Structure 1
Amino acid sequence: MRDCLHSGYLLGSKVLRKLAADPCGSVTPPRCPCRRRRLARVRSVEISTRQARVRRQRRALGADVQATSAAALAAHIWSLPEMRRAGVVGTFVADDGEVSLWPVVARLWAEDVAVTVPAIDDADRLVFLRWRRGGELVPGRFGIPIPACGEAIDVRNHDVILIAGVLFGPRGARVGRGRGYYDRALAFRIAPDAPAPADGPMLVGVGHLFQWDPQLVCRPQDVALDAFVSPAGVRRFGRDLAPWN
């Protein structure tokens, strides 16, 4: 065990592991800054390990499995009433083994719904560019495809935004690739004068079922999702407490 210079108490590795594995709060976390920082480092390492494992698992999926998953995912996404009445929907181009949204995008175009995809602008901000039917895609920042030409649509003017991630958890928790672009773009959702969730876009995390992590914690500074959709079903958070479909 090691001494904590701030409090004079001892903090052992077993206690750290118990605290890191206790997101529900039955173990009282230490108040000392040293202990809080140490605990944060433990949790960060654990999350990074889980992220790496999930990304390897995604990349190992075969084309047939991905196609079946994309079709099942689309059916569950369209079960959301918010999708069926949406006029502007944010999507993404699948990368790194992410489940494809192509069946969803094709139907949105067929129903004349405006489709956008995320891009990073010159000011290093996440924006949403209109992707029209048949529009060419070119490599953007980090090699992720974006429309060759497409006007930006304000994030607040979307009805639904389908968001990729690496890990998803209870209460709308999400972990992406660690750059924080989505949290910054959606920060208006947690501002002091934030509108009610029903007045803003519905935020839907999208991933494979094995990306669900029941121990993932949604921190106060995180922008929580309203739902998580996988090929296995739908889990809603902020707008109701409906179980898996």
Structure 2
Amino acid sequence: MCKKSDIRMSIKNIKKNITEEQRSQVSDRIRHYTEQLPEFQRARTVLLYHSLQDEVDTSMFLKSWQRDKRLLLPVVKKNDLIIRDYLPENLKPGSFGILEPQGKEITDLSVIDLIIIPGVAFDRNRNRLGRGKGYYDRLLARLKAYKIGICYDCQIIDRIPTEKHDIPMDYVITESGII
């Protein structure tokens, strides 16, 4: 079995070959598949993320959903993620250069119906491998919402090494469809 660090390095190298045009097309397809899920259609409050350059682009997700859903974004605060409302006019670069919302922290996490999560890699059992800091692992342990991991096809691997604290996704969505 591969070590997590080896998987992270391998996926990082593979993703370097994804062009900006491919990223845009794939992101649109993933958004389309996400919008087809009944859990998404029913969701009133969605926790999303502001994508990094090597991740599925979520900027169009934010633009197209902000009219119909309450959107929340995570903010890195020390070793944890705190949650704030997404307001496009209220974003500032934060940790790791990610645009983060300012304002009051959302402490009642039960309002979140659905969470869309990035990952370095996923497997067909819907296990997720993150970047290694545990931010999402700690957050997911506190949530009851539907969990959707989104990624490129090239990020699906045979098997993610899991630990007791790892929480599988309810769905994983790539440009090829829904797992």
Please give the TM-score of this superposition, normalised by the length of structure 1.
Answer: 0.67
Alignment of 1:1-245 (within 5 A): 20=1, 43-44=2-3, 47-111=4-68, 113-121=69-77, 123-132=78-87, 134-149=88-103, 151-152=105-106, 154-188=108-142, 200-235=144-179
* Contact 1:127 1:154 (C-alpha < 8 Å) held by counterparts: no
CA contact under 8 A between 1:170 and 1:217: conserved in structure 2?
A: no
- Paired with 1:153 and 1:206, the residues of 2 have a C-alpha distance of 25
Q: Report the alpha carbon displacement of residue 59 of structure 1 after superposing the two structures with TM.
A: 3.4
CA deviation map 1:141-199 (0-9, x unaligned): 2222101335425333210000001010133211111000111122246xxxxxxxxxx
Shift of 1:107: 2.2
Contact kept in structure 2, 1:105 and 1:115, CA below 8 Å:
yes
Work out the CA distance in 1 between the residues paired with 2:126 and 2:41: 22
Shift in CA distance, 173/70, structure 1 to aligned 2, threshold 3 Å: same
Change (3 A) 1:93 1:188: closer
2:46 partner SS: strand
CA drift at 1:201: 0.3
Alignment check: 8 A CA contact 1:58 1:96 kept: no
1:61 CA displacement: 1.7
Deviations 1:108-148 (A, max 9, x none): 1121x111111122x5321121102x323211122221013
Distance in 1, Cα, partners of 2:104 & 2:11: 32
Deviation digits for residues 40-83 of structure 1 (CA, Å, limit 9, x no counterpart): xxx43xx3122112123223321111111111111101011111
Q: Which has the higher contact order (CA 8 A, sep 6+)?
A: 2
Does structure 2 retain, via aligned residues, the 8 Å contact 1:82–1:202? yes
Q: Distance in 2 between matches of 1:221 and 1:70?
A: 29
Q: 2 CA distance for matches of 1:56 and 1:165?
A: 15
Deviation at 1:99, TM superposition (A): 0.8
Answer whether contact 2:126 2:168 (CA < 8 A) is retained.
Answer: yes
User: Identity of paired residues, percent?
Assistant: 23
Structure that is richer in strand per residue: 2
- Aligned CA-pair RMSD: 1.8
Q: Provide the C-alpha distance between the structure 2 equivalents of 1:156 and 1:209, rounded to a whole number of angstroms.
A: 31
**SS of the residue 1:220 aligns to:** coil
**In structure 2, what is the Cα distance between the partners aligned to 1:97 and 1:75?**
20
SS at match of 1:135: helix
What TM-score results when the alignment is normalised by the length of structure 2?
0.90
Counterpart CA distance in 2 for 1:207 and 1:68 is: 13
- How far off is 1:90 after superposition? 0.7
8 Å Cα contact 2:82-2:105 kept in structure 1: no
- Partners of 1:155 and 1:204 in 2: how far apart? 16
